[in-house]
């Protein structure tokens, strides 16, 4: 080991200084250090060997005690809770941070409220995905290969490919879950029960950021399928939901639109809940706010899920929940939600 032993008393100091630099190394390395010193014994003068050996045995006992104490302390350590406030896992064990110091992000608080409203209307909630494949994003929703409607979604894709050689996609709408939901709850139809599901989730689009556009935002999808379902059921469902959310009577109207996965498709508008159709800056002085896209589920989408469109019909919608929240609380910039600005979040304690 290259140690120069000048006197027997130096043995403990030399080894202890060496071991201080090895605190996090396996104990077997410490044993190697002891063996190296033991190998020095034959090189000493005969009259010094006994004293050297005695010191070495004493040091060995001390080190063994150190190892036992360290192992005992290790077994007493509590596991680290990665979900706890940062100072809970420190050695001094201070009190956990009070939950009163924080606040729930308004988009998550509102998402809970939306889910509760739909739950009271008989809908089951299933969370959307944050990565998906081309089939569920487009193929299962009646987007043919090369269809120009695919370009409208400005999707983010990954370098990794799925089993069909297509890139995985950061979903641009919660509609990616429609095919899964229809297949999962198809047995309900066979039992005479409707499919009634809402799908909250985070979606992603390659947007230029401004006060009204974000690349990452929240949506909630709705799917309802049963016998004899028509557009009147769709309009009544959405009107009831919006009136419950804004706490007042509202007028609603639709106008034709195009989505590949619904036919007919609509843009759905509500009377402005702030000016009661008199005109204000929220509704651009029109008295109406276009709030979401919706329509009757396309027969091809039902067929893709194994549901006979000659027997069953249904409707679907998708709404950006951050926009609902912005209007409800008078938030002027959508970018506040994901900014992490404490002065913004503290308003919602």
Residue 82 has pLDDT above 70, yes or no: no
Rounded to whole angstroms, the Cα distance separating 4 from 51 reads 17
Please state, as a whole number, how many other Cβ atoms lie within 10 Å of the Cβ of residue 348: 14
Band (pLDDT 50/70/90 cuts) for residue 8 is very low
CA 21 to chain centre: 42
Residue 20 is predicted with a pLDDT of 54
Residue 332 is predicted with a pLDDT of 83
The model's pLDDT over 117-170, given as tens digits with 9 standing for 90+, comes to 999 999 999 999 989 998 998 889 988 787 777 776 677 888 888 888 888 888
Rounded to whole angstroms, the Cα distance separating 122 from 296 reads 19
Task: Please tell me whether the overall predicted TM-score, pTM, comes out greater than 0.75 for this model.
Answer: no
Cβ proximity of 302 and 315 under 8 Å:
no
The residue assigned the tokens 């005695």 is: 54
- The residue extents of the domains of the chain are 10-76, 106-348
Cβ proximity of 322 and 218 under 8 Å:
yes
Write down the CATH superfamily of domain 106-348: Bira Bifunctional Protein; Domain 2 (3.30.930.10)
């Amino acid at each position: 080991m290259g140690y120069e032993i000048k006197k027997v008393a130096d043995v403990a100091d030399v080894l202890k200084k060496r071991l201080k630099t090895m605190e996090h190394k396996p104990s077997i390395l410490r044993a190697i250090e002891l063996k190296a010193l033991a190998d020095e014994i034959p090189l000493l003068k005969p009259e010094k060997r006994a004293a050297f050996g005695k010191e070495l045995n004493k040091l060995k006992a001390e080190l063994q005690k150190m190892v036992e104490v360290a192992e005992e302390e290790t077994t007493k350590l509590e596991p680290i809770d990665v979900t706890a406030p940062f100072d809970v896992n420190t050695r001094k064990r201070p009190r956990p941070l009070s939950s009163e110091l924080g606040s729930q992000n308004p988009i998550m608080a509102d998402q809970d409220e939306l889910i509760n409203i739909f739950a009271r209307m008989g809908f089951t909630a299933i969370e959307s995905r944050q990565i998906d494949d081309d089939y569920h994003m487009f193929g299962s929703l009646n987007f043919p290969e090369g269809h120009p409607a695919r370009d409208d979604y400005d999707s983010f894709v990954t370098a990794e490919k799925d089993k069909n050689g297509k890139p995985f996609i950061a979903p641009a709408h919660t509609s990616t879950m429609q095919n899964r939901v229809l297949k999962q709850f198809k047995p309900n139809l066979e039992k005479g029960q409707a499919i009634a599901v809402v799908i909250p989730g985070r979606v992603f689009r390659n947007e230029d950021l401004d006060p009204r556009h974000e690349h990452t935002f929240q949506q909630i999808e709705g799917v309802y399928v049963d016998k004899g379902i028509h557009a009147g059921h769709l309009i009544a469902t959405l009107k009831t939901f919006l009136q419950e959310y804004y706490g007042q009577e509202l007028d609603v109207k639709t106008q034709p639109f195009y989505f590949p996965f619904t036919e007919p498709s609509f843009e759905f508008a509500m009377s402005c809940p702030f000016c009661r159709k008199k005109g204000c800056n929220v509704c651009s002085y029109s008295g109406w706010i276009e709030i979401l896209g919706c329509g009757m589920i396309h027969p091809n989408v039902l067929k893709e899920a194994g549901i006979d469109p000659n027997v069953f019909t249904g409707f679907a919608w998708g709404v950006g929940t951050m926009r609902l929240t912005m209007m409800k609380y008078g938030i002027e910039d959508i970018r506040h939600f994901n900014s992490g600005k404490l002065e913004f979040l503290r308003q919602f304690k």
